[in-house]
Every structure is written in C-alpha cells, then in structure tokens.
A and B are shown apart, each in its own frame.
Chain A
Amino acid sequence: MKYDVLDYILCAFDMCLLIILMQRMYGKVVKNNYIFYGVSVLLVLGTTYVLQSSGNYTHTLTSTISSFFLLGFFPENRQKKKLFSTILFAISGFWNLGFNHCIILLPDLSFTMVKILYHLVFGVILVLALSIHKSKTPNIPNRLWGLLYAIPLASGVAYICLVIMMMGSAYSGIQRSILLLPILLAFLFINLMVFYLYDQFSALIVATTENALLEQQMEIQDSHYKELEAAHLRIRSIRHDMKNNLQAVSSLLKEGQTEELAEYLDSMNDHINISEKVISTQNKVLDSILNIKIMDMESNNIKVVCEITVPPELKLNFSQTVTLFGNLLDNAKEACLKLPEQKRTVTLKISYISGMLFISLQNPVHFRPAKEDGEFLSMKGDEILHGIGLKNVQNAVDEFNGKMDLRCDDENFHAKVILYNV
C-alpha cells in the first residue's frame, strides 16, 4: 500500500506529458474541454487502480494505451492520429522492453527508484518528441504516409525476429540483455525520428505549394505583358488599316459611288466597334488588365457587361491587380469557352465606398465545379497544385484583410470579393 500514491502520481505524470504532446500534434481541444479533463483524470485513476488490484505497478505502455481513449477529443484528422498513435505505441513498447533489460543489468536498485526512473526516462523521451515536433503542420501526400508507417512496423518485426534468434542461442540472460538493449534503444530512436521526418515532409510540401503559387503569379504577370504587346501590335495594324481604308474611301468618293461607299463605311463601323469598349478608370494598371482581358474575351465571342466605378488612386499594386483580376477573368473565360456562344456573358461590377472595394464577377458554367473543404477545385487536376489560381486570389484578398465568397449553382458561378483599406 505504501507505493499506491506514487503510482497514481507517476501515471498522472505520463498522462500530462502525453496530453501535451497530443495537443502539439493534433491541435488544442476546443469542444467539451471539461469533459476532456474529467476523462483524463478518470483514465489515470482507472488505469492505476486496475493495475494495482491485479498486483501490478503502473506501466508507461498502459498510460500510452489509455491516452488513446482521448483521441476523439482532438480536432485534427484521423490519418495523423493513426500514424502517431502507432508511433507512440512503438516507442512505449520499445522503452518497456528496453527498461526490462536495464533492470536485469542493474539488479541493485530499490523498487521505488526503479519505478521513478522508469517513468522519468519515458518522460524525457516524450519531451524529446515534443522538441522535435515543433510546428503544427499541414498534411502530407499519401505515398509518404506509407513510408512513415514502415518504420514502426519494420522495427517491430525486426525485434521479434531477433528475440526468436536469441532464444535458440547459447547466450545467458545478462548477455542477451547487453546485446538487446542497444538494439532496442536504436529502434526507439528511429521511431522517435518519425516526428522529425513528418515535420520535414510537411515543410517540403509547404515550400512546394508556395513555389507553385509564386510561379503561377509570375506566369499570369508574364502573360499580361505578352497580351499588352499583342494589344500594341493590334493598334498598330488598325492604324495601318486606317490609312488603306481612308484611301479606299476617298477613291470611292471621287468616283461618286455613294452606294458602295455607304456599304463600305458600314462594314468598317462594325470592325471598329469591336475595339470600341474601353475601360477608363484612370488607374493605369487596372485599366490595362481589364481592357486586355475584356478585348480577349470579346474576340472569343464572350459578351462582357461592365459596371466599374472606382477612384484612380487605389492601393492595389501591379502584382495584386494582375493576380486578382487576371485569375478571376481567366476562370470566367475558361468557363465560357465550354459553352455555346449565345450563352457567353460575363458580368463584372466593381464599386468603391470609402476605402472599401467590392468586386462581383458572374459567369455561366456548363457544370458545377467540384468543391473540397469549401474550396473550388479547378479542372486542371494536380494533387498539390489544384485551384492554385484561386488560392493566389485568396492570398491577395488576405493582404487586404478582405473576404472572398465563391458560389455556384447549376448555371452560374459568382465570385464576390471585398477588400478593406484599398
């Protein structure tokens, strides 16, 4: 009975560290906080009581297993919980086995000392895991999960094989322990490294995604410049045409062929109308991107309805303007091109009220785009890179503390954006 209280304390010690580690891995417990703590206390009391009444002392492995009952309280996803539970199980298991060999090697320690040491070192291992697993990181792709699972599984299997081999050998108990202890510690270390690997993998994913975002932004800026150049060329050719046309008109006039002249002028009028629509907000970047995109859409027989009333001095810089409007209008164009010509109408409205910019873009769609975690996926399809254009738009929106709302019914896609302090 003398050690009763100590057992409870040691089990509570394990549980506290395990909970801290789980919070780091899966995020803080948000809902049912009190129930969570209540269950934790009950688990400590229950585990210790059951172990004691069956004549055992508190195991770190049982602490780990009973901590699994708390998994449901943590917010983050199942896949991550499964992997890290496996790892924790493996680590506790290896430590248990390793410690048994330690006791064989150090037979003179008092029982209390042994128990304290046993839990204390386990605590150190958990703190190590905590210090390795630093950031709350996003998920990693499927193929890497398999790799991480292989570590606890392979080390478990290897250990079992080793023990079987040892059984048949002529080593004494102490000799076995001397051989097995370093191997067990090595396995423990390798499993601990999964925390590190996971962090590294997800850092890599973050970097890849960021690169892709930047690349897309560069691409859209680059294409803007190309379109600008093309627009210049078009204007030059119109000027050149004008010369020829004027010559034709004057010769028709001189010859007195008024009917042909009227017909000719009509046809020219149609031709000029195409490039008639000019957005002029006095905001050079906005004007140039909108004019180029609109001209491009109109040449694809997409009707563009515009209602734009904004002041010339907006805090949107070149990159933000191109990212926002380039991506949104490109998406609208892409959707329109899949539709018959008579349905192709894009409505763009931009308004400004004391520092706030409101953008609304509506275009028809031929089917509803897929949505995942509340985010629309573009149809281009790539595991990490999907919807990257819209993610860049979202980033630009975030730079203004703004909000973007994307909605889609069976016929129309509607993007609404508000930006503050523009």
Chain B
Amino acid sequence: MITIAICDDDKLTANYMEEYILSLPIKDIFYDIFMTGHDLMNYLENNNVRYNIYILDIEMPGINGIETASHIRRKDKNALIIFSTDHKEYVYQVFEVLPFRFIIKPLTKERLTTVLYEAFEHIQTMGQLFFFKKERNNFQIPFRDILYFEGNGRKVRLNTVTGEHEFYSRLRDITGKVDANLFLQIHISYLVNMEHIHSISESEVLLDNHIRLPISKKFRQDAKMQHLKYMEWRCGH
C-alpha cells in the first residue's frame, strides 16, 4: 500500500490531484487531503502516522510548505516530498529537505502522473529486501537502509543507517543478490548503495554520515559512469 498526503490551500488544485490519483490504474493507494500545513502537522503528531509521499504546496498561509517539509523530514528520512508551486522563485530555497520532485503549477495530469509513478518506482526499488543469515537467525533489511557492504575474505560486513552486521559470505555473492541499478562496486572489497553517495573524488567515495571509502583505479571510471546513470534515473530525466 502506498500512502499520500496532499497539502494545498487551494481547494481546486487539491480536487484535481484527487481526481488524477483516483484515475490511476493502481488499487491500493490511500490518500488524505489537508488544507494547511498546520492541519497536516497536527494530524501526524496526534495520530503518529507517516505517509510515503507528501505533495506540499510551497505557498500557504500560516505554516508554509517548506516549514512543513522540514518538520516531516526531521521525523522521517525516507518520506518522498514533492513540492507544488506557482512561484518559480520560491522553489530554489528548499533543497535542504531533499525534495524528490517539483510540480510547477498550473498542475497537469501528465506531470502529476509522471511524478507519482517515479515516486512509486523509487519506493519499490528502495523497499526491496536483502536477506542474510547470522548465527542461524534470518535477517532482512530494506535496500534503502543499506549504506555499503565490505568484503573481508569469507566474511561480509553490512553497514546500515542503524548499525553493523557481520556474516559469512563473499562480496561477489552479494553482488548477485542486490539491485545492480542501485549498488555500485567501487573497490574489490566495497559495494555501496548509490542512494547514499554524496560525492566521488579521485580517490574516495563520500557517503552519508561522513563515511569515506576508497575507490580503486580499476573501478573508478566505470563507477562514475554507473553513478551518472543512477543520477539520471534518480532525478527523473
């Protein structure tokens, strides 16, 4: 199931969004509509709910879309935030909350559908699970939480946003078990999640949480090309 929160003070726009979402040939989409940022934030607080996707109007009376977004982002690192705006200039001060897409008004069905499908694909890709066995217990971790795999002989260390796991396997066997469009080999012993890459320099790859991993000469050019392709997909080009 995918949940969407729409927050727009313009009733007409909200109605159009609802109509377009309903016309999608996908069954288990669940959505709520809020008229102000305040309403949305209160609802999130009081009912302790999270949505997968938030479509926020930037320009709203009271708490605007940007403030609402940073509130959401503090609580939920994985939420996909989509801004809708008719003020082109406003758009550009919002990159700290890591927006997923922008919808420039006037809203069109085509644009909304494209953006939503991209969001669904993103959720689906990041939500795939990686299974492994450690001391006879089975574990599963969604791809989105994996920072990188580190191979060390017959052991593999799995680094996630929440912690580390070490289990018996070989890095080359892991390569076959994860999404090749998402995971990138940068070194004979490192396989990283491209979603968490900040930069690639001559000698290292910088990940979230200031993690630095070495990139070897052998993999560098290929890795950069693959990351370019990933960014193309990630930016929806």
Q: Which residues in A have some Cβ–Cβ distance to B below 8 Å?
A: 280-283, 309-312, 349, 351-356, 358, 360, 401, 403, 405, 416, 418, 420-421
Contacts and interface: CB of A to CB of B under 8 A. Distances in A.
Given A403-B227, A403-B228, A309 B199 contact: no
A356 B231 contact: yes
A401 B200 contact: yes
B98 A282 contact: no
Most chain B beta-carbon contacts within 10 A, residue among A309, A349, A405? A309
Question: Which 9 A-B pairs have CB atoms at the shortest separation, nearest pair first?
Answer: A351-B235, A420-B199, A403-B224, A360-B237, A311-B95, A358-B231, A418-B228, A401-B201, A358-B235
A311 B232 contact: no
A419 to B, nearest CB: 9
Contacts of B200: 401, 420
Given A349-B237, A351-B237, A354-B98, A418 B201 contact: no
A183 B198 CA distance: 65
Contacts of B228: 358, 403, 405, 416, 418
Nearest to A352: B95
B98 A353 contact: yes
B91 interface: yes
Contacts of A309: 91-92, 102
Interface of B: 88-89, 91-93, 95, 98, 102, 198-202, 224-225, 227-228, 231-232, 234-237
A312 B102 contact: no
A312 B236 CA distance: 21
Nearest to A279: B88
B92 A311 contact: yes
B95 A360 contact: no
Contacts of B91: 309
Given A281-B92, A311-B92, A421 B199 contact: yes
Contact of A311 (B88, B93, B201): B93
Nearest to A278: B88
A120 B208 CA distance: 59
B186 to A, nearest CB: 14
A401 B199 contact: yes
Contacts of A405: 225, 228
A353 to B, nearest CB: 7
A347 to B, nearest CB: 9
Nearest to A281: B92
B231 A418 contact: yes
Nearest to B237: A360
A104 B45 CA distance: 104
Contacts of A403: 224-225, 227-228
Given A354-B95, A360-B237, 7 more contacts: A354-B98, A356-B199, A358-B231, A360-B232, A360-B235, A401-B201, A420-B200
Contacts of B88: 280
A263 B95 CA distance: 45
Contacts of A421: 199
A358 B201 CA distance: 16
A395 B236 CA distance: 26
A311 B235 CA distance: 15
A349 B199 contact: no
Contacts of B199: 355-356, 401, 420-421
A416 B232 contact: yes
Contacts of B234: 353, 358
A110 B208 CA distance: 73
Nearest to B236: A351
B100 to A, nearest CB: 9
25 contacts: A280-B89, A281-B92, A309-B92, A309-B102, A349-B235, A353-B98, A354-B95, A354-B198, A355-B198, A355-B199, A358-B231, A358-B232, A358-B234, A358-B237, A360-B232, A401-B201, A403-B224, A403-B225, A403-B227, A403-B228, A405-B228, A418-B228, A418-B231, A420-B201, A421-B199
B202 A418 contact: no
Given A418-B228, A418-B231, A401 B202 contact: yes
A345 B89 CA distance: 25
A394 to B, nearest CB: 13
A349 B237 CA distance: 7
A389 B98 CA distance: 34
Contacts of A310: 92
A282 B225 contact: no
Contacts of B235: 349, 351, 353, 358, 360
Nearest to A354: B198
A403 B89 CA distance: 29
A353 B94 CA distance: 11
Contact of A418 (B98, B227, B236): B227
A183 to B, nearest CB: 49
Q: Considering residues B95, B198, B201, which has the most beta carbons from chain A within 10 angstroms of its beta carbon? A: B95
A418 B201 CA distance: 12
A349 B93 CA distance: 18
A384 to B, nearest CB: 25
A416 B235 CA distance: 12
Nearest to B226: A403
